[in-house]
Amino acid sequence: MGMLFFDCRAMGDYSNYMWSVRDWRTDEMYVVLDNREQGIYRNLIDECWVSGSISNDMEILARFVHEPLDYFVQVWSKIRHKFRSLSNGKMTSSRLLEDPRRLTTARQQARNKASTAAKARWNKVRQEKELHAQPMLGALLEAPQIQIQIQKEGERNGEESSLPEDLSTPENNSKTEDPSFANSKPKFAKYRPEFLKFWELSTRRGSKVDAQREWTKLKPDEVLQAEITSGMADWRKSEQWQDETKQPHISRWLKRGGWEEIVPSSNGHRPETDAIRIERAEKRAKEIFGK
């Protein structure tokens, strides 16, 4: 007999078949037809989806649904209005014209939903990476080697610090929204005036940032500032420090309390006592601060 069906607009992919229980239960044929008639109608609808069309020959259709011709003709009179004729002489279901549009809409909605979910996941991952990276950056900048390099770069450029403004000023540090990150950032405050006076009188050896950190830890009042400055002046005059290789970094000198150490004497004179040094420090404080 040849081929029964003509592939007009075959859907091919059974997984995309839009027929559902809800579609069937709301179809008028579900109420009008009995079970045997429903089977015939459903088989023809399914074939339209798979092959794109069905034959308009009653004998061919009757053989396809495995029913006697006279019985099929009776059923066809009930379901004929559900099928439309095509220009090639075949027929197709009216549903076949509507289902592709429904399928396209469903696919677009699924793509939009997937895209929205993917963006949400990506934003969450990015925020987590930034949150973890910020404390790591703060810890990296706190490393002594990095600070020494930053300070040396600033000194080569004739600046006090080569750090970007947003990292060197406490005001800009408050811009971050994460309080845990704000606490983890290194604090590079501007140099204190009393520290700068001491630094200019020192050998200026080592990191200026580290030196101010140790200075800040001491919290020196006017008397202690004068004592530290006086001690530095004594050590700079010492024979030992004339050799630059024997000069300690200022930060280390402050950390170990170098101003309290006895300066070696090269002329045989007896080293100063603590009382003499304190008296001299108080005198020096009056000269500096005018009190």
Q: pLDDT tens track of the chain, all 291 residues?
A: 344 443 444 444 555 566 677 778 888 888 889 999 999 998 998 888 788 789 889 999 999 999 999 999 999 999 988 888 888 888 888 776 666 666 677 667 888 888 888 888 888 888 777 777 766 666 666 666 666 666 666 666 555 444 444 444 444 444 444 454 445 444 545 888 888 888 888 888 888 899 899 999 988 888 888 888 888 888 888 888 888 888 889 989 899 888 888 887 665 454 555 666 677 777 777 776 765
pTM recorded for the entire structure: 0.33
Question: How confident is the model over 55-92, as pLDDT tens digits?
Answer: 889 999 999 999 999 999 999 999 988 888 888 888 88
Which two three-digit tokens encode residue 187? 């604090």
Contacts of 10-15 with CB under 8 Å at 24 or more apart are: 10/50, 10/51, 10/52, 11/49, 11/50, 11/52, 11/96, 11/99, 11/100, 12/50, 14/50
Partners of 54 in the β-ladder: 91
> How far is Cα 225 from Cα 257, in angstroms, rounded to an integer?
12
pLDDT of residue 171: 45
Sign of CA dihedral 275, 280, 285, 286: positive
Burial classification of residue 28, based on how many CB atoms lie within 10 Å of its CB (0-12 exposed, 13-18 middle, 19 or more buried): exposed
Residues 193, 289: contact at Cβ < 8 Å? no
Alpha helices in the chain (DSSP H): 21-26, 29-32, 35-51, 58-64, 69-79, 94-142, 144-156, 165-168, 170-173, 179-184, 193-201, 208-218, 222-237, 250-255, 274-289
Give me the domains of the chain, ranges plus CATH numbers: 14-100 (1.10.10), 191-291 (no CATH)
Spell out the residues 6+ positions from residue 113 whose beta carbon is closer than 8 angstroms to its own: none
> How far is Cα 188 from Cα 208, in angstroms, rounded to an integer?
11
pLDDT of residue 266: 62
Residue 7 DSSP one-character state: -
Place of tokens 């095509």: 86
Instruction: For the chain, report the end-to-end CA distance as a whole number of angstroms.
Output: 123
